[in-house]
């Protein structure tokens, strides 16, 4: 079965500290992988996506993610978080046989403390 797992429901991080959000997927091939952020009362904003090529992907707002095929993972990182990074983060994937139909993880809520 196809699925996306975000093991951490909630993460608290100090401002200026590094952040890593985990994402694992289950699919028979390599899906198209995405990270979205949802700020309170807002829609979803795309941070980055991976389809092929370089496994380290750079996104907006200083985020990057690394695709590891052997671990079926696509973890999101940021070296130094800002208070404005407090939000909910969703990992998601698409497959070519269900194009346009995202499968989302449960989300990770990030809280940034002073």
Tell me how far, at minimum, the Cβ of 114 lies from other proteins, in Å: 26
Gap between the Cα atoms of 112 and 91, Å rounded: 19
Q: Are 89 and 108 in contact (CB under 8 A)?
A: yes
What residues line the site for other proteins (CB under 8 A)?
Answer: 32, 34, 36, 41-44, 46, 49, 51, 90, 94, 100-102, 104-107
Gap between the Cα atoms of 56 and 59, Å rounded: 10
Tell me how far, at minimum, the Cβ of 19 lies from other proteins, in Å: 20
Tell me how far, at minimum, the Cβ of 9 lies from other proteins, in Å: 9
């Amino acid at each position: 079965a196809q699925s996306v797992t975000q093991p951490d429901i909630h993460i608290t991080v100090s401002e200026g500290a590094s952040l890593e959000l985990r994402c694992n997927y289950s699919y028979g091939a390599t899906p198209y992988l995405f990270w979205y952020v949802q700020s309170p009362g807002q829609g979803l904003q795309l941070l980055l996506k991976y389809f092929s090529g370089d496994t380290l992907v750079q996104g907006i707002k200083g985020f990057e993610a690394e695709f590891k095929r052997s671990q079926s993972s696509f973890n999101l990182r940021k070296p130094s978080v800002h208070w404005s990074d407090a939000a909910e983060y969703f990992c998601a994937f698409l497959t070519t046989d269900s194009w346009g139909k995202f499968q989302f993880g449960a989300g990770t809520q990030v809280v940034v403390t002073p």
